[in-house]
Structure 1
């Protein structure tokens, strides 16, 4: 159940910055679709989970300095090459690997995403704040019809979330204070990092981000400013 904003809430933010993978787009369902279309001899759901599971460890290598700055496209390819071996697909041709890696550019939006963003855009400046690289986010937006005012990425700031430089970088781009920027995400750790920088936080439920058999706990965190069932619910709460 969604929660209405508290009556003592601070003035509305000016900028809404959106996490993308899992929040705006359905990465699990989209990767399952891509793997199924290729008729790969694997369980598509297990493949999708394994590919995504390499995401945080790969970013950690960059954040720790073990790797120099590396775009998510290149991290996704490193993970893909590794899991192809694990799934017995290490004979996949290079051209097929390159195209499969671009599956992340072709992720489908959640059903409420486009209309919800359009409504929110009538009152707020909306942008991405994703660890995805700029080219990936632009391709995704064009294909899915995502109506961003601006595409921002960790690539712009050379810092992956949850580094403070990513959240504060959005504030710097729009010349607003942290309290005027609100992160919208389906991940509590992302929102906690934004709050630690003084930014506002809105949680959006994506119960089936990891597929129908691995439902997420979407319980409200009272530390967040808003809790919404989807983007349409968030738009309603924000008066859009």
Structure 2
């Protein structure tokens, strides 16, 4: 009897797990303005990310995509740092807001995904929308089989509908889908929804001051060093 793989699809949290948002956004901020610390600005902008999605998840606000939320968060962060967006060329502000479309991959991402793609369906399960994730993939060379944007799912993680909706789109039972993430909270929600889980650490995601997600804190199906190691472990992990 042919051995059975642990799962059929391996989906990925993207910001921080597959791409290095802090470096990419900091670079864009530094090109936009020399009046603020680009790293601190990037961290503050990202800090508004989860709170801005909460009203959508709890039904207080209709679904809007991440470009809208990022723009609102950009304006709030700019005000916090005393950076005037009103005096800038609108096209330059739009370019800055779309920095999240142009993020660099971690060194292992492309090679690891390419190896995984040989045996599994691979794609993002991200709060980014389809156009953002497509642009990101073209920029970073990410070899996805499928792109499941939040605009297709109509909600944001960790809403269980995001995880279950992705499995439904792929016509797979939840247990045949794995989420790989560098964030334990994301994996806990995926596991609760019935998905398999894999953790990889990204200790440089938030820079030297990072204190969370330095290691796995849950009973995940796989704990890997990076995406390449995940590909090796999954290739060797068979059931039945």
Match of 1:7 in 2: none
Q: How does 1:1-240 map to 2 (within 5 A)?
A: 11-90=5-84, 91-93=86-88, 94-239=90-235
Over residues 77-130 of structure 1, what are the superposed CA-to-partner deviations in whole Å (9 max), with x where a residue is unaligned? 000011111111124422221110010000000010000000000010001110
Q: How far apart are the structure 2 equivalents of 1:171 and 1:135?
A: 20
Q: How far apart are the structure 1 equivalents of 2:131 and 2:37?
A: 29
Q: How far apart are the structure 1 equivalents of 2:218 and 2:98?
A: 38
Gaps of 5+ in 1: 1-9
TM-score (norm 1): 0.92
Q: How far apart are the structure 2 equivalents of 1:197 and 1:66?
A: 23
Q: What's the CA shift for 1:68?
A: 1.3
Alpha-carbon contact 1:162-1:193 (below 8 Å) kept: yes
Q: What's the CA shift for 1:11?
A: 5.0
> Secondary structure of 1:25's partner?
coil
Runs of 4+ in 1 over 6 A off after TM superposition: none
The worse-fitting range, judged by mean Cα deviation, of 230-239 and 118-127 is 230-239
Q: How far apart are the structure 2 equivalents of 1:210 and 1:67?
A: 29
Gaps of 5+ in 2: none
Over residues 172-218 of structure 1, what are the superposed CA-to-partner deviations in whole Å (9 max), with x where a residue is unaligned? 11211111000011111111111101110000110111023335442
Q: How far apart are the structure 1 equivalents of 2:14 and 2:53?
A: 16
Alpha-carbon contact 2:183-2:213 (below 8 Å) kept: no
TM-score (norm 2): 0.92
Over residues 34-73 of structure 1, what are the superposed CA-to-partner deviations in whole Å (9 max), with x where a residue is unaligned? 1222343111111011000000110002112222111001
Q: How far apart are the structure 1 equivalents of 2:10 and 2:34?
A: 39
The worse-fitting range, judged by mean Cα deviation, of 62-71 and 213-222 is 213-222
Over residues 150-178 of structure 1, what are the superposed CA-to-partner deviations in whole Å (9 max), with x where a residue is unaligned? 00022101011111111111111121111
Count of residue pairs the alignment pairs up: 231
